[in-house]
A and B are shown apart, each in its own frame.
Chain A
Amino acid sequence: MLKDVTFGQYFPGNSLLHKADARFKVLILIEYIVIVLLANSAYAVGLGLLLTAFLMVFSGVKIRLLLKSVKPLIFVLVFTCLINLFLTRGSGAPLVDWSFIKIYKEGVRNAIAMLIRLLSLVLGTSVLISFTTSPLELTDALESLLSPLKKIKVPVHEFAMMMSIALRFIPTLIEETNKIISAQKARCADFDSGNIFKKLKAMVPILIPLFVSAVRRAEELADAMECRCYHGGKGRTKLNVMHAKLRDYIFLLAVTAIIAGVVVLNRYDASFIKNLIKDLVF
């Protein structure tokens, strides 16, 4: 049942985004989120969409896979759209006025804006981080970006290590869960009938073995790490040292410039642009 989830899965590849420095990708993701949330006017949203399209192309991930990653979210998307569409009260006359349903121009606008925002957030995060950055790169990047916090005694390395271990064990635990479910089903366990409390109670024979084996795995892993002389982050060197290249700086600057662009475009509406072009041309 947990097999077809592509959201949050890494696809190895050799695209521009795959090759980009993971630390820069994290920074760019933050900028990207700012852009998506900041964009308000039609032109600004358009600029954001253009950036999203560029990122999708640069990631080299097949469009079909991207759409598949959106699929589990369809319900959320449709729901948010409908809520915005029906519950926004506008100032002018409603577009549709049929018994209790009233749809205003502002509602349509909000629904579309919300849809674009949510889709952009999912697609952007997918292509920037999850599809093109291996979990190992990601935790290394976070460790490196947060390393200034070490000065105030925040255990950054330990957090990064915990995160990479957690990511590493997700597939293992899914497999384990499926095995335990099968084993309990073979003992005639019934997970599907009864009310909510009965169903929750039916989970006990799955959860207890799962916790027990998770704890056992943790102990074994701790032993194995100690056997290989792991002693925390101090003085630890990396196999793959991250090197920022010129193109990473250019990438970051370009996206920063887009933030500025969005701020400007938000400020002024369509007529201003027309005038600006007129001024420039004539």
Chain B
Amino acid sequence: MNAIELKNVSVVYGEGTPFKKIALNNINTCFPQGTVTGIIGHTGSGKSTLASLLNGLLKPTSGEVLLFDKSIWEKPKEMVQIRSQVGLVFQYPEYQLFDETVEADIAFGPRNLKLPQEEIDKRVKLAAEFCGITERDLKRSPFELSGGQKRRAAIAGVLAMQPKVLVLDEPAAGLDPKGREEILGGLIEYKNTYGATLIIISHSMEDVAKYADNILVMNNGEIYMQGAVEEIFLQAERLFDANLDVPQITKLFIELKKRGLCESSDIYTLGYAKKVIEKLLG
């Protein structure tokens, strides 16, 4: 079953003025339930516009956005319901923190859903766990935390609504490798626990290769490529044409293949690469 499906979706900014800009052009795609999709693309390729379509922050100029086979714009008054099911984490979400304690800030989403207090407390605890926030940090002011901890608190604020679909715009940008791994690992854990669907926008091919099942490549407001991770990274040449990249380890194997040292170049994780190299070395 598809968690989200986009049918002939276009977004045009400034229709009828000289500043008209087609941000998204006739997008058709779907995100199957329980999968992780990585969206990659150049700056200005329409990735972030796509993200804000998914929870109804932006209305498409034409076309339909379906959440579990129902159009999200059917009843605009019940958009809160849609937003509680599709969690959206923006780029640099740490700038949205505002409450006195981290705990209260994470509870903001569930509070807006008017859940009973016990349920809110339960969800805050769970969300904090997934994001690796300690009991002590929950009682502190969000403004006392370090950058990475703030990021976690902000992501926990969206997780606490327990969305069925989680869309994240560059969740790990600007973090050190350990921080990246912890945040992305926590998100995967959340996905596995609740059978949720993850959509991650990222510039890091390594992260996408490591965590995603499918990849959607955006270019100039259109879908340039889509498919399973191994299919996409096999077509390295096409990615290079769109000024995109493949993981570094894949690049290494492309070069090895050119020199006739190995047969395949569809290798994109370190673990698998290690095995292949060991096999080749005998």
Contacts and interface: CB of A to CB of B under 8 A. Distances in A.
Given A179-B90, A188-B109, A205-B99, 20 more contacts: A180-B96, A182-B52, A182-B57, A183-B93, A183-B95, A185-B57, A185-B83, A186-B83, A187-B112, A187-B161, A188-B83, A188-B112, A188-B113, A205-B96, A208-B98, A209-B96, A209-B97, A209-B98, A212-B95, A213-B95
Contacts of A186: 55, 57, 83, 87-90, 158
A2 to B, nearest CB: 15
11 contacts: A179-B95, A180-B96, A183-B96, A188-B84, A188-B109, A205-B99, A205-B108, A209-B96, A209-B98, A212-B98, A212-B143
B157 interface: yes
B80 interface: yes
B207 to A, nearest CB: 22
A187 B157 contact: yes
Interface of B, secondary structure class, is: helix
Contacts of A182: 52, 57, 90
B90 A183 contact: yes
Interface string A12-33: 0000000000000000000000
Nearest to B113: A188
A223 interface: no
A209 B150 CA distance: 13
A193 to B, nearest CB: 10
Contacts of B109: 187-188
A204 interface: yes
Interface string B178-205: 0000000000000000000000000000
Nearest to A205: B98
Contacts of B52: 182
A184 interface: yes
Interface residues of B, number: 24
Interface of B: 52, 55, 57, 80, 83-84, 87-90, 93, 95-99, 108-109, 112-113, 143, 157-158, 161
Nearest to A207: B98
A210 B113 CA distance: 24
Interface in A185-215: 185-190, 204-205, 208-209, 212-213
Contacts of B88: 186
Interface string A159-195: 0000000000000000010011011111111100000
Contacts of A213: 95
A148 to B, nearest CB: 44
Interface of A: 176, 179-180, 182-190, 204-205, 208-209, 212-213
A208 to B, nearest CB: 4
B64 to A, nearest CB: 21
A154 B90 CA distance: 45
Given A179-B90, A182-B52, A183-B90, A190 B112 contact: yes
Contacts of B93: 183
A184 B88 CA distance: 10
Contacts of B98: 204-205, 208-209, 212
Contacts of A184: 96, 108
A180 B97 CA distance: 10
A96 B50 CA distance: 60
A109 B183 CA distance: 70
Contacts of B80: 188, 190
A189 B99 CA distance: 14
Contacts of A190: 80, 112
A190 B80 CA distance: 8
Given A205-B108, A209-B96, A213-B95, A187 B158 contact: yes
A232 to B, nearest CB: 31
Contacts of A183: 90, 93, 95-96
A62 to B, nearest CB: 12
Contacts of B108: 184, 187, 189, 205
A18 B113 CA distance: 54
Contacts of A204: 98
A213 B93 CA distance: 12
Nearest to B108: A187
Contacts of A176: 95
A212 B96 CA distance: 10
**In the complex, the 8 A-B pairs of residues with the closest C-beta atoms, listed nearest first:** A208-B98, A188-B112, A183-B96, A187-B109, A186-B88, A205-B98, A188-B80, A183-B90
